[in-house]
Amino acid sequence: MDMQTKELDLIDWLVNLEDERILDKLSSFKNEETSDWYDDLPEEAKASIQRGLEDVRQGKLIPHEKVMEDIRKKYNIKK
């Protein structure tokens, strides 16, 4: 069965569906599948991400190797 046939079969089934519990489950499933993970984050996390993006736009970045070098020096860790 190709995708279009499956879709049409499901549409036909859904149009004729009379069980509200199944409709509620399908609606919940649809919402979960189409929601963006970002929308579910706490406002503090969103603000932190936005600050990080602004730092990127302003070029306020420290390369990973520089950070690791500083940590090695601070804690006297040999590479």
| Digit-coded pLDDT (tens) for 14-26 | 999 999 999 999 9
Q: How buried is 60 (Cβ within 10 angstroms: 0-12 exposed, 13-18 middle, 19+ buried)?
A: exposed
| Digit-coded pLDDT (tens) for 42-74 | 999 999 999 999 999 999 999 999 999 999 999
Q: Indicate yes or no: pTM above 0.85.
A: no
What span, in angstroms and rounded, lies between the C-alpha atoms of 67 and 59?
Answer: 16
Sequence letter at residue 16: N
